């Protein structure tokens, strides 16, 4: 009787702990708000009159961001940690420094190796540090033309959407087999069912701030939607990194008006991914940041439509932990306190219970083959 009861208990335990997920996520969408810590999210929510889209995600935590050689990271080292699971020195793009200087495999390359489509989307110029950490290997983030060369000739993501110039040239992208678009109309005019490689080179530097108006250039949410519509043509899945890159720039300038609007548009981009993924059971969405910028503190809510009253402590980055919000397959692997090197495992390793199921399934398959 006792044995029967304990078996029943084990069964119940299995049912309770069995995750919704049954495998590695097929589609991984990785959102990075550059310079977006909890205070930036709070300030944007006060302006918007409600929480950011990703604040509804069930699995949340905070992330430590220090680099290999500094308690305060830059975007290159933080991007590398997020992209490769390895801490490097500030300024380094996905190479082993400290170490032997070898290339560190990125999530983009990992998923490409599994036959997935890949994409990088940002509001900074395309060769800036965060996207570079996913699609390039360079000893310095300042090697802009080399980073462009790494994208176009080495890692070749299907989708590259961001600001132009700074090493990216339309002719070089065309020569590498990319369809080049240079404004919102060109982006909207793409046949997303037929496009396999696209390079969006919007303007000659970072995209303008939302506060100042985008003119003929696309919003982050529009770039995200187009990226999803191209990448989802691959039935085998995809990896997409989307960066809200200018939250950081407004933070450096201690400019709360531009900071909150960049965060709101970042939230809009996440909402596009939520809309795309709703009803699916094969997708992981992770929203986090690379570091905090500005030492922001929110002092008073001035109501929706108004910037809150705030204070800033620096025009640089800080060591403040950043938030993480996750939805979908493996979202439960997000822990209350994690490090920026932990995302590699969350995105690439199936949940333990799922591994058990996978092992059982492959065992059954083996038995069948032996017959
Ligand atoms: Zn910065």
In this predicted model, which residue has the larger pLDDT, 17 or 159?
159
- pLDDT confidence of residue 287: 98
Res. 2: pLDDT tops 70? no
Structural domain contains residue 174: yes
State in Å: Cα 91 to ligand 1 middle.
11
pLDDT for 6: 54
Residue 27, CA distances (Å) to 19, 52, 238 in order: 17, 22, 5
Q: Considering 53, 67, 70, 75, which one is annotated as catalytic?
A: 75
Greatest alpha-carbon pair distance for the chain in Å reads: 76
Round the average pLDDT of the chain to a whole number and report it: 91
Residue 78 CA to ligand 1 center (angstroms) comes to 11
In a domain, 360, yes or no: no
pTM score, whole prediction: 0.90
Task: Give the model confidence (pLDDT) of 235-293 as tens digits.
Answer: 999 999 999 999 999 999 999 999 999 999 999 999 999 999 999 999 999 999 999 99
| Residue 248 CA, ligand 1 centroid: distance in Å | 5
Residue 201, classed as helix, strand or coil, is strand
261: how many CB neighbours lie within 10 A of its CB? 22
CA distances from 330 to 15, 82, 194, 215, 311 (A): 17, 16, 31, 39, 37
Q: How far is the CA of 31 from the centre of ligand 1 (A)?
A: 17
Task: Round to the nearest angstrom and report the end-to-end CA distance of the chain.
Answer: 37
Distance CA 145, CA 149 (A): 6
In CATH, what number is assigned to the domain containing residue 285? 3.40.720.10
Residue 329 β-bridge partners: none
* Residue 4 CA to ligand 1 centre (angstroms): 60
Is 75 a catalytic site residue?
yes
Alpha-carbon gap, residue 78 to 91, rounded angstroms? 9
User: For the stretch 209-244, what's the b/e string if a residue is b when 16 or more beta carbons lie within 10 angstroms of its beta carbon?
Assistant: bbeeebeebbbbbbbbbbbbbbbbebeebbbbbbbb
Query: How far, in Å, from the CA of 159 to the mean position of ligand 1?
Result: 24
CA of 252 to the centre of ligand 1 (A): 7
DSSP track, 2-23: HHHHHHHHHHHHHHHH--S--S
What CA–CA distance (Å, rounded) separates 79 from 228? 21
pLDDT at 218: 98
Residues around ion ligand 1, judged by CB within 5 A, are 248
Compute how many other C-beta atoms are within 10 angstroms of the C-beta atom of residue 332.
16
Residue 208 lies in a domain: yes
What pLDDT, in 10s, does the model give residues 278-307?
999 999 999 999 999 999 999 999 999 999
Ligand 1 centroid–CA 337 distance in Å is 23
Compute, in angstroms, the gap from residue 316 CA to the centroid of ligand 1. Answer: 7
pLDDT tens by residue, 84-109: 999 999 999 999 999 999 999 999 99
Report the 10 Å Cβ neighbour count for 108.
Answer: 28
| pLDDT band for position 368 (cuts 50, 70, 90) | very low
Residue in the structure block whose two tokens are 């002719």: 171
Confidence label for 24 from pLDDT (cuts 50, 70 and 90): confident
User: Mind listing the pLDDT tens digit for each residue in 128-185?
Assistant: 999 999 999 999 999 999 999 999 999 999 999 999 999 999 999 999 999 999 999 9
CA of 125 to the centre of ligand 1 (A): 14
Q: Is residue 254 part of a domain?
A: yes
User: What is the extent of the structural domain holding 328?
Assistant: 34-238+248-347
Indicate if the pLDDT at residue 4 is higher than 90.
no
129 alpha carbon to ligand 1 midpoint, in Å?
10
Please report, for residues 94, 102, 220, 225, 260, the alpha-carbon distance to residue 37 in angstroms, rounded to integers and kept in the order given: 23, 31, 19, 25, 12
61 domain-assigned: yes
**How confident is residue 207, by pLDDT bands cut at 50, 70 and 90?**
very high
The answer as to whether 338 is a domain residue is yes
pLDDT at 349: 83
Residue 9 lies in a domain: no
**pLDDT at residue number 227:** 98
Number of domains present in the structure of the chain: 1
């Amino acid at each position: 009787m006792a044995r029967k009861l304990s078996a029943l208990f084990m069964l119940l335990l299995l049912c309770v702990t069995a995750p919704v997920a049954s495998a590695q996520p097929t589609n991984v969408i990785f959102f990075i708000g550059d310079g977006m810590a909890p205070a930036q999210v709070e300030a944007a929510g006060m302006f918007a009159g409600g929480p950011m889209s990703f604040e509804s995600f069930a699995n949340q935590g905070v992330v430590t961001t220090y680099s290999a050689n500094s308690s305060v990271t830059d975007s290159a080292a933080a991007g590398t940690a997020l992209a490769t699971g390895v801490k490097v020195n500030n300024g380094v793009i996905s190479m082993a420094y400290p170490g032997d200087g070898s290339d560190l495999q990125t999530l983009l390359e990992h998923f490409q190796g599994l036959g997935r489509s890949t994409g990088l989307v940002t509001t900074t110029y395309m060769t800036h540090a965060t996207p570079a950490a996913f699609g390039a290997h360079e000893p310095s983030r300042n090697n802009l033309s080399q980073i462009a060369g790494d994208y176009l000739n080495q890692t070749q993501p299907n989708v590259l959407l961001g600001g132009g110039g700074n090493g990216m040239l339309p002719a070089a992208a065309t020569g590498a087999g990319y369809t080049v678009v240079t404004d919102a109309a060109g982006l909207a005019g793409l046949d997303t069912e037929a496009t396999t490689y696209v390079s969006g080179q919007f303007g000659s530097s970072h995209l303008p701030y939302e506060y100042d108006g985008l003119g003929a250039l696309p919003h982050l949410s529009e770039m995200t939607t187009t990226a999803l519509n191209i990448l989802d043509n691959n039935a085998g899945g995809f990896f997409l990194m989307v960066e809200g890159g200018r939250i950081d720039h407004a933070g450096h300038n201690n400019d709360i008006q531009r900071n909150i609007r960049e965060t709101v548009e970042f939230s809009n981009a996440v909402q596009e991914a939520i809309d795309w993924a709703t009803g699916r059971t094969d997708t992981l969405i992770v929203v986090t940041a690379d570091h905090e910028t500005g030492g922001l503190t929110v002092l008073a809510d001035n109501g929706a439509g108004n910037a809150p009253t705030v204070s800033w402590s620096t025009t640089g980055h800080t060591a403040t932990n950043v938030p993480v919000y996750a939805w979908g397959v493996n979202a439960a692997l997000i822990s209350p306190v994690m490090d920026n090197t932990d995302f590699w495992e969350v995105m690439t390793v199936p949940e333990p219970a799922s591994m058990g199921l996978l092992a059982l399934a492959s065992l059954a398959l083996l038995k069948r083959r032996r017959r």
